[in-house]
Amino acid sequence: MPTPTPMPTPDDPALDEPHTTVDALVQLSFLIQGELARIAADHDLSLIQVRLLGILRDRRPGMLELARHLDLDKSSMTGLVTRAEKRGLVRRERSPHDGRGILVTLTPAGTTLVNTCAQQVQARIAILATPLTTREGDQLRLLATKLLTAHGEGLLP
Amino acid sequence: MPTPTPMPTPDDPALDEPHTTVDALVQLSFLIQGELARIAADHDLSLIQVRLLGILRDRRPGMLELARHLDLDKSSMTGLVTRAEKRGLVRRERSPHDGRGILVTLTPAGTTLVNTCAQQVQARIAILATPLTTREGDQLRLLATKLLTAHGEGLLP
DNA sequence: TATTGTTATACTCTATAACTATA
DNA sequence: TATAGTTATAGAGTATAACAATA
C-alpha cells in the first residue's frame, strides 16, 4: 500500500480531495463521526452516550465489560452510567451471581431513544452515501469489511 | 443506496461484519478515529489538539477562523489555544491589520510535534490498510473521494 | 488475595452569556 | 452598531489513586 505524503488531521474533511488511501480514510472518518455527533446532539446526547445505549441494545453487561467495549477506565464508566441513569435511560441492577457486580440495562425510554438514533444513523449516513451507486456502495462495504475483519482478528503486521 | 437494517454505534467496530454500506462506514470511522486518538495520546495530546496543530501547518488563522474549521464556539477556542500555548506549541500574535484580531501560529516545537504526528498517522493508518491490495486501496480512495467531494460542494439531497 | 465497582481529585473540552476593545 | 476575542460559569467526559465490599 503506497501512501507517501504526510497530511493528517484535516481541519475540513472535504476541502481538498484525498491524495492517498490514508487521507481518504482519515477524511472519511471525520465526515462520518461528525454526522454521528450531530445526530447525538439532536437528542441532547453525546456520541459516547449513544454508544453506551447502543451496546445495551443486545447486552446486559457489567461495568467492566462496558469499559472494555468503550475503551474507557472503569472509573469513567461510573459517571457515564450515572448520568444516563439520571436521565432515565438505563438502570443498574444487582447481579444475581456476583454480589460485587451490577448489570446495566436499558429502560423503556432508553430503548425508544436508541432505536430512534439507530434509525437516524441509518437514514443520514445513507444520505451521505447517495453519491455512490448501489454497486459502488457494495464495493465500499466489501473493502471496509476486508479492513475491519483483519483488524478484528488481530492479524495485522 | 439500499441499506435497510438499523444497526448503529458499534460497541466494538470489528466484532461482526458490516451488513450494509452504512454499517461499514460507521464501523470504519470508529476504527480510524480510535487509531488517531491513540496516536494523539502517545504524545499526550487530544485529538482536537492535534487537529488544531494540523490546521496551523499551512495557515495563520484568527480565533474565529479556527473555530469555524473545528466546528467549535469561539469561546471554546480560547481555552484550546491557551493550553497549546502553555505547552509551547503555538503562539498568539497581534494582527497587524485589525487591532481586535490575533493570529495563531505554530512554534518550532509545535511544528516538530505536528510533523511527527503526521508521520505516525501516515504509517499507522497505512498499516490498518495493509489487508488491501494497491488496486483496492485506489478503489477505496476513489469511492471516498466521490463521497467527500459531493459533501464538500453541498450538493447532497 | 483478587475482583468489582465507587469515590476523590484534577484536568480537558465544550457551550452560553456577559464583557472588553476595536472597527 | 457590529466584530474579535476573553472571561465567568456550568457541566460532561476522562484518568489516576485510593477505597469498600465481595469472591
Alpha-carbon distance of A43 to A104, in angstroms, equals 21
| Comparison of pLDDT for B109 and A19, the residue scoring more | B109
Verify if strand C has an atom below 7 Å from the CB of A77. yes
Within 7 A of a protein CB, which nucleotides of strand D? 3-8, 12-18, 21-23
Q: And the C-alpha cell for A97? A: 451471581
What is residue B109's predicted lDDT score, i.e. its pLDDT?
98
Cα angle for residues A2, B26, A103 (degrees, 5° grid): 130
Lookup result for grid cell 495563531: B104
* A110-136: pLDDT as tens digits: 999 999 999 999 999 999 999 999 999
Q: How far is CA A107 from CA A47, A87, A117, A142, B19, in A?
A: 19, 10, 15, 36, 27
Q: Which range has the worst mean pLDDT, A5-9, B44-48, B99-103, B136-140?
A: A5-9
Distance A51 CA to D16 C1' (A): 24
CA dihedral (A130, B147, A150, B130) positive or negative: positive
* B96-133: pLDDT as tens digits: 999 999 999 999 999 999 999 999 999 999 999 999 99
Residue B65, CB-side half-sphere exposure with 13 Å CA sphere: 11
Residue B98, Ramachandran bin (φ over 0: left; ψ between -120 and 50: alpha; else beta): beta
What is residue B46's predicted lDDT score, i.e. its pLDDT?
98
What is residue B17's predicted lDDT score, i.e. its pLDDT?
77
Verify if strand D has an atom below 7 Å from the CB of B78. yes
Distance B143 CA to D20 C1' (A): 54
Verify if strand C has an atom below 7 Å from the CB of A69. no
The predicted model scores a pTM of 0.90
Q: How far is B106 from chain A (nearest CA, A)?
A: 15
Q: Closest nt to B73 (CA→C1')? A: C15
CB atoms < 10 A from the CB of A34, how many? Answer: 16
Judging by beta carbons within 10 Å of its beta carbon (0-12, 13-18, 19+), is residue B107 exposed, middle or buried?
middle
